[in-house]
Amino acid sequence: MFSHVKELQYNAKPERPDPVYAKKLQEILGGQYGEMTVMMQYLFQGWNCKAEGKYKDMILDIGTEEIAHVEMIATMIAQLLDGAPAHDQEQGAKDPAVEAVLGGMNPQHVIVNGLGAQPNDASGYPWNARYTIASGNLLADFRANLNAESQGRLQVVRLYEMTTDPGVRDMLSFLIARDKMHQNQWMAAIEELVKSQGAVVPSTFNPEFEKQEVAYSFMNFSEGEESSTGRWVNGKALDGVGTFNYVQNPGAGQVPFLKVPPNYTHGTPPTNGVNPMQ
C-alpha cells in the first residue's frame, strides 16, 4: 500500500513559465526512458519477485522513489504552463514573439489537460507499458534497469543543457544525481548476482544443448577487421568458462528452399517453369 504525503521528495518550482520547455520535459515523464517507465518497471519487478529478501525490498524501495519523481516532474510541467492560458494564443497574430513561444507549446496542455502534465512523451505519444521489463530473472532485469537509468540520465542531462531557469536546473540536478546513484545501485546488485549465478543469463540452461563450437566466437560480418582488436575476441570470456576467438570468414549454412504453395493460395508460380510440388 502507498500513502501520499503533500511534500515532494525535492523542490520542483521554476523561476518563470515556459510552455515550450514544458513540452520538452514531457519526454522524461512519459517517454520510453522516462520516470513513468522506471516506476512501473521496478514496481512490477518487485511485485513479481519470488525471491523474498534484500533484492525484493531494494526493488520496491527504488520503485516507490520513482513515484515521487513522476510527481515532481508533473508538478514542474504544470508550473511551467502557469501564465500560458489559451487566450494568449490569440495574441500570436498580433505579436510575433508570443506566436513564436506559444506556437511551440503542446496545445493539448491547454485543450486536454487544462495547463497540466500528461502521461505522454514530448511528441504527444502516450506512455506504453511495453516499455517496461519484468522477466522474473533478476540478473536480466537488473541489466535492463541499468540501461534504463543510463538512457534516462542522458536525457535529463540534455534537458539540463536546454534551459537556463535556475529552478528547473535545480530539480534536474537532483534527478541527475539520483540517476547516478541508481546506476551504481544496479551495477552493485549485478555484481552480486554474477558471483552467485554466473555472468550469462540464464545460467540454469544445460550447456550440452548449446553449439559449443560457436559459443565464444566473434564473427566478422562487416567490411574491415577493426573489430578483431577488441577484448571480445581475445582471452578468457567474461563468464570465466570459455575463451574468445575471432572468425574472419564465418561459414555458411544451408541454402533455403521453399516449396511452391498449393494452387488454392493463389501465390506466384515458379519463374523457372519447374513446380517442385509435382
Contacts with 221 (C-beta within 8 Å, 6 or more apart), sequence order: 250
CB 190 within 8 A of CB 142: yes
Find out whether 240 is annotated in a ligand binding site: no
* Alpha-carbon gap, residue 43 to 45, rounded angstroms: 5
Annotated binding-site residue? 206: no
C-alpha cell at 145: 534497469
Give the max Cα distance, the chain.
79
With cell 540478473, the residue in question is 139
208 is in an annotated binding site: no
To the question of whether residue 35 is assigned a binding role by annotation, the answer is yes
* CB neighbour list of residue 159: distance below 8 Å, 6 or more residues apart: 24, 25, 27, 28, 172
Task: Identify residue 232 by its one-letter amino acid code.
Answer: W
Q: Using CA atoms, how far apart are residues 135 and 44, in angstroms rounded to an integer?
A: 10
Report how far residue 30's alpha carbon sits from residue 101's, in angstroms, rounded to the nearest whole number.
23
Q: Where are the beta strands (DSSP E) in 105-230?
A: 217-219
For residue 235, say whether it is annotated as part of any ligand binding site: no
Nearest to 147 by CA among 160, 137, 161, 133: 133
* 88 annotated to a ligand binding site: no
State yes or no: 222 annotated in a binding site: yes
Q: Is the peptide bond before 202 cis (omega within 30 degrees of 0)?
A: yes
CA dist list (Å): 213 to 42, 218, 231: 37, 11, 19
99 annotated to bind ligand: no
106 is in an annotated binding site: no
> 223 a known binding residue?
no
What sign results for the dihedral spanned by CA atoms 8, 39, 158, 187? Answer: positive
- Residue ranges of the annotated binding site for Mn(2+) are 35, 66, 69, 149, 182
Binding site per annotation, positions: 35, 57, 61, 66, 69, 149, 182, 220, 222, 224
Write out the binding residues for Ca(2+). Answer: 57, 61, 220, 222, 224
